[in-house]
Amino acid sequence: MATQRQYYQPSAALPINMPSKAPASASLFPVSRVAGSPPEISDSSTTTGSRTSGYSLGPSSYAGSLSGDYESSTASYSGVDVVDMLSDRMNNAFDPTPLDKGLAMQAQTSGQLNAKQRELLELQALAQRRLKGVRANFSEGIKTAKETKRDLEWTQKRVSALKSKAESVHPDEYRRATRTYTYDDEY
């Protein structure tokens, strides 16, 4: 029986809090300035069992060295802003294309959803107008049916009265006519 394992793979880089570029006081060593480029480690500098970097600046070339004060030691070097460098590397490492595609898809879906919502509201308003018309027609039909029933009852009473009057006034002719013209009274 095969088992399936699911692993979590992050789909995007997580945000990193970066220190601000607030100016440091003159008495402290600079935190965000380095006197040279960061070391690039190449495969050729790796030896068996130990690893050395190809970074060859001496201890006096670091911004935090004790040889001289801060202003004079950093004035001769073109320093690298660590925050800018890390920000650039993060920008280069982060690919915003999937995020942009996701936002575009979300905007399209939202637009389609809003269009369907408006269409549903229009259809609901149309259904309510039609229902109002159907109710008016129905109430008018009920009124007409009641009037017709009342007219039929009056006509039935009138025919019954005429029938009984004809039977009492002309009994012989009535009997002959009923034999000749028979009809169902229940109709």
pLDDT tens for each residue of 26-45: 555 545 555 555 556 555 54
In a domain, 110, yes or no: yes
In a domain, 117, yes or no: yes
In a domain, 80, yes or no: no
The angle that helices 171-180 and 97-169 make with each other, rounded to 10 degrees, is: 140
**How many CB atoms lie under 10 A from the CB of residue 158?**
10
Q: What is the pTM of this model?
A: 0.36
Q: Count of domains in the chain?
A: 1
Tell me the per-residue pLDDT of 60-82, one tens digit each, with 9 for 90 and over: 444 554 544 445 444 444 678 89
In a domain, 9, yes or no: no
In a domain, 104, yes or no: yes
In a domain, 152, yes or no: yes
3-state helix vs strand vs coil in the chain, percent to 5: 55, 5, 40
3 state DSSP class of 187: coil
Q: Which domain holds residue 149?
A: 98-156
In a domain, 75, yes or no: no
In a domain, 74, yes or no: no
Helix (H) / strand (E) containing 126: helix 97-169
